Structure 1
């Protein structure tokens, strides 16, 4: 059976140097090239498993993904049994094929110990992964053995093809794999769970996967938001009805209720989650987030530190701890009307450095953590280190986050930095417009609109005939005024504004 200490030790060795990943990946690529022309390849590509699902995983995110899988295997009591298979795929991506085979053996043991129906169907994914790993190791006979196992099982199914089968359990397996690999895969994960639910609408596991996925996609433009806008509320309620002992789901529902202003029901739901012994490490994370939003920062920190004892390398936890120290800083500054005493000033400086420490750890542990980069850049600004803030913003600006509200937040935050620290209206306008032209309702978009409106007002107060301000006002009117042509105006208007005032950068 799985030994968490042994597996985590391997994980830590894997992260001991960035060169290891590059060398392992090169080895994997070389093995793939050697076998590329083998006729087995066509058959392998017909399998439904992690090697054929097109999982979007950035190389720099592999160590963090590996840690998160290990943490979920050990601390998250969900009904799905997909952790070891995904861990094996991550090991393959690192070129660690013997470790991958060990993880697949652990996946087989989990399936064999599962008394639920369709254990053969669940095994198909593991066998397909076995076939691919052996193929990449050059063990073609072993790869063929697992292909034969898949084929024999598929022929028994109601809707067989030679090397795959169409069934809701397989759709669910694919959905879990996509969900665990991050935001760029969420929409596809949602489609997989929807397909599974079409076949079995009351299946507890399918509903759990679907509810978690839509919760992650359900980012509120503002808090509290309208109940009608929170599309994950009903899926979460249904999943809890089918999984009444799932504390993790209850914690997510508590946060979503908080989003819609239902604090009392949210607190009741959270207390139920905390009363369970299952998934406590994860429940503590979301309890802390709930309390931080309420301004109860010390209580939030208590739960975060409890969770950190179990998962000390969690990028999410370190980012959340950083947010707590940032909030404590703001609380002191607000309480002293921005004029802290010497003792308060020393405390503020200490809290700023603590926040920076945890944000730095988060982005080091997870180099693709865009939100944490923005948090870190803002804390550098608070600390007066504008050079580090600029460097951090440049790193995150080079990323391509799929979620639109994250893109908007990056551009709004950098626009603020350009306007107030760098004193560059030109660059500030450029990035505020970047946020506004992404037509997704969000806090960052609203703030960017207000910032642009204020800049227009200031410019026209100085010079009522300022052509840059007049052009910018027209662009804003067309972008957010609600006219039909606004849907098609962005590119044209921004080009017009650039020609008129030369303040919109070419990056637009």
Structure 2
């Protein structure tokens, strides 16, 4: 519940009639906390917006919520009054239902609410907007929502969100947030020139909100312009000091700077370089910890914090953070696959437990995702580990079989068969009875 409340207060969605949606969501959280008077106050603010902007069908969301809260407070007359409003509106628009209306507006409202309630709802949100778009294919708000949901479902070299983002930008030419998302997608797909064009257009928009600066910073961080990214993030943080998203991005920037120092010193910084690297590690840890304080369900923050503990040799704390994220439910499959990869590396290189590393590499590979980026990293890690164990004569039969498994997943069935046959021959030589 605190996580949802923080998501609502740190609005990171485009401002598309968003105020009414935010008031309704905030009322929901307050209702869950038993704060019914406060919930009604939020709903009154939402109702004022619906009257001012004449939102018609979307008013049903607010009126239905008002009826529910009044009912819970035993204010049955007030509850009935709002139910009457819902019923009259349903009649006005010829709904076959007394208190319910199936329409594109309702699908859109549900989609935006789902987008606000965590990554596990992105697929459902995308389906809601898709349903709305069947009715109004050129509606700017519905295309906006569909593009955002698609982007959040899209990872690395996938491109399911590219065309939806292009269309959303065409229909919402003054929305800098959509342009930055499109730029980030183009950046991932290896189209830097077009990506920079949209970044420049977004930055030229004087109405940029703090959350837009955060996504601009993501772009510059990937481009290697860490100082520029940090400047944007701290500018945004002045307006939203309690944004978990901004603290997380700042942590990534400091982590990136630390890695740059290590790479420039052949992974062995000394003297002043060591002092600077240590300071960057402390700053990164501070912001990852703040991220988790503000949003305890921020899965990748646990992984990055764990990796900072690894840098300081605090393997116990690193293990604790890995276990916290591995025990979380409803993790996105691509994120979970990456967690298994990074935890496997921790087991292999820090804990010197190759068996546990193999277990988590295989767990990651068993997760079926459309992205190939993390999968390829897992296959490469597993192949190198198997080949080294074969050279060092460690569990040779199992290691050859493991190598065959890697070739099989790569689609090289002839090499896979060769490895399996070799493992079988060795098994027979060691166990003649077999």
Q: Is the 8 A contact 1:65 1:181 kept in 2?
A: yes
Distance 1:248 1:242 in 2: 13
- Tell me what 2:411 maps to: 481
Q: Which has the higher contact order (CA 8 A, sep 6+)?
A: 1
1:427 partnered with 2:350: no
Selected match of 1:307 from 236, 243, 257: 236
Distance 1:475 1:334 in 2: 33
Distance 1:399 1:475 in 2: 29
1:167-178, aligned counterparts within 5 Å? 167-178=103-114
Q: Is the 8 A contact 2:36 2:69 kept in 1?
A: yes
**SS of equivalent to 1:472:** helix
Distance 1:98 1:134 in 2: 9
TM-score (norm: length of structure 1):
0.78
**SS of equivalent to 2:96:** coil
- Tell me what 1:96 maps to: 35
- Tell me what 1:160 maps to: 96
Q: Is the 8 A contact 1:230 1:260 kept in 2?
A: yes
1:7-156, aligned counterparts within 5 Å? 62-72=1-11, 77-80=15-18, 81-115=20-54, 119-156=55-92
How many Å apart are 1:274 and its aligned residue?
1.2
TM-score (norm: length of structure 2):
0.91
Selected match of 2:308 from 371, 379, 397: 379
1:283 partnered with 2:212: yes
Q: Is the 8 A contact 2:133 2:143 kept in 1?
A: yes
1:296-445, aligned counterparts within 5 Å? 296-440=225-369, 441-445=371-375
Q: Is the 8 A contact 1:287 1:303 kept in 2?
A: yes
**SS of equivalent to 1:278:** coil
Distance 2:330 2:256 in 1: 25
1:172-321, aligned counterparts within 5 Å? 172-220=108-156, 225=157, 229-321=158-250
How many Å apart are 1:254 and its aligned residue?
1.2
Q: Is the 8 A contact 1:84 1:106 kept in 2?
A: yes
Q: Is the 8 A contact 1:171 1:192 kept in 2?
A: yes
The one-character-per-residue Cα deviations of 1:59-107 (angstroms, maximum 9, x if unpaired) are xxx223223322329x953344411111111111222111111110111
Task: State the aligned residue count.
Answer: 416
Q: Is the 8 A contact 1:76 1:282 kept in 2?
A: no
Q: Is the 8 A contact 1:77 1:278 kept in 2?
A: no
How many Å apart are 1:251 and its aligned residue?
1.2
Select between 329-338 and 380-389 the one with higher mean Cα deviation: 329-338
Q: Is the 8 A contact 1:405 1:442 kept in 2?
A: no
Q: Is the 8 A contact 1:370 1:401 kept in 2?
A: no
For structure 2, the 5+ residue unaligned runs are 421-426, 428-434
**SS of equivalent to 2:331:** coil
**SS of equivalent to 1:72:** coil
CA shift in 2, pair 1:183/1:333, >3 Å: same
**SS of equivalent to 2:11:** helix
Q: Is the 8 A contact 2:140 2:168 kept in 1?
A: yes
CA shift in 2, pair 1:352/1:158, >3 Å: same
Q: Is the 8 A contact 2:4 2:117 kept in 1?
A: yes
How many Å apart are 1:451 and its aligned residue?
1.2
CA shift in 2, pair 1:465/1:413, >3 Å: closer
How many Å apart are 1:465 and its aligned residue?
7.2
Distance 1:83 1:160 in 2: 29
**SS of equivalent to 1:439:** coil
- Tell me what 1:456 maps to: 386
The one-character-per-residue Cα deviations of 1:224-253 (angstroms, maximum 9, x if unpaired) are x3xxx4121111111111111111111111
